[in-house]
Amino acid sequence: MNKLTPKASFRKLAAIYEKMVAQYGEAAGAIDMTCSGCTDNCCLSFFQHHTYVEWAYMWEGLNQLPADRLEEIKSKAQDYVDQAQRALSAGQRPHVMCPLNIDEEQGICGLYKHRLMICRMHGVPNMLVKPNGQQIQFPGCYRCQELTEEYEKDGKMAPVVNRTNLYKDLVMLEMQFVGKNLRQLPKVDHTIAEMIVLGPPRLK
């Protein structure tokens, strides 16, 4: 498999993200869901990301920010990592605002165009069939679950985004982006804050 340049990889990733946005929009539109006025900002959720290509693309976005803004984000990211570590050591699930969020009340992402796959899919019902055949279902966020219940009261079925093909495309792109070193490199399992503190991924 031919290795892609970072530029070509990022173009492909942006195209995968566009498909996600379209499918998210269809599912959210069907149940009339928006994030407006949400009281449970999902950017406070503790979750990890798993691809080098998304990590690198996030840094492509970060590197376009003014230097002082980037320094502020790095400092928030370090705080996040420290707070998360304290929570985990106390046996609690961290509940810390993502360092890229720029408005806690409105839940505005400060790196919207470069936000990662899990950020894009969190809200709506979605499912994934893994290569081993295992099917995983995600019910969507609390608001989505309430709206889905309401929508399905009179027998209709709310749409579920099948992200299997998007996931396959992302896995393929990861291989094309990293190249033959992928098997030798450590598995990516980082929060956004960790990806910021660590800096852009090293692929050698």
Binding site for ligand SF4 (CB under 6 A): 35, 38, 40-43, 98, 100-101, 107, 109, 111, 115, 119, 122-123, 141, 143-144, 192
Burial string for 88-100 (b: 16+ CB within 10 Å, else e) reads eeeeeebebbbbb
Smaller CB separation from ligand SF4, 109 or 175: 109
Q: How far is residue 11's CA from residue 51's CA, in Å, rounded to a whole number?
A: 16
Residue 103 to residue 108: CA distance in whole angstroms: 5
CA distance linking residue 143 with residue 33, whole number of Å? 8
Nearer to ligand SF4 (CB atom), residue 12 or residue 49:
49
Count of CB atoms situated within 10 Å of the CB of 70: 14
Check residue 108 and report its DSSP letter: E
Distance in Å, CB of 38 to ligand SF4, minimum: 3
* Least Cβ distance, residue 65 to ligand SF4 (angstroms): 13
Pairwise CA distance, residues 120 & 6, whole Å: 22
CB 60 to ligand SF4: min, Å:
14
In the chain, the amino acid numbered 179 is G
CB 131, min distance to ligand SF4, A: 26
